[in-house]
Amino acid sequence: MEKMRLNPYLLPHKGLRYLLAKVSLLAGNLDNTLPKEVDQLKALSNELFFLLEQHAHVEDHMILPDLEKKCPGSTEENHEEHEYLEGLVAQLQTQVNALQPGSDPNAPKVFFEALMEVIGEEMDPRPFTVLRESLEEGALVH
């Protein structure tokens, strides 16, 4: 039986997608009259935002420079995407941290819709095609 090797570069995306799904499920079903649910959404969202920030930092400073050396110009889209997502995440963080139990009943919906935009970006495999292909071909293996 052939052992399947885990790819340390692609595995974090799977974890981020899982957490994005958890936050979106909670945000989409939030009863904002319940303090416990609002607090849970804030905590889970802020954990997600921290992990997204750390993940982008690792990609920008550890993974993408190696890819850029092997395939010049191939990481420009990734850097642009990270800047765009950084702005979205900052907006989301402001929105979720402003939620108060029993306040504006539309606020959770606005947060949820903005979160769907981030999920759409994170789930889109196109920006990672070059990285994935390079990894599969062993281009980044030292």
pLDDT in tens, 48-106: 999 888 888 888 888 888 888 888 888 888 878 888 888 888 988 999 999 999 888 88
Q: Mean of the pLDDT values across residues 38-43?
A: 95
For the chain, give the mean pLDDT. Answer: 79
Q: Above pLDDT 70, what percent of the chain?
A: 77
Q: Check whether 29 has a pLDDT greater than 50.
A: yes
CA-to-CA dists, residue 110 to 18, 27, 104, angstroms: 21, 10, 10
pLDDT, position 131: 45
Per the CB < 8 A criterion, the answer to whether 109 and 17 are in contact is no
Write the pLDDT tens digit of every residue in 94-129: 999 999 998 888 888 888 888 887 777 665 544 444
Which DSSP letter does residue 4 get?
A: P
HSE on the CB side for 135, CA within 13 Å?
14
Q: Please state the φ and ψ torsions of residue 71, each to the nearest 5 degrees.
A: -135, 80
Q: Which residues contact 112 (CB under 8 A, 6 or more apart)?
A: 24, 27, 28, 30
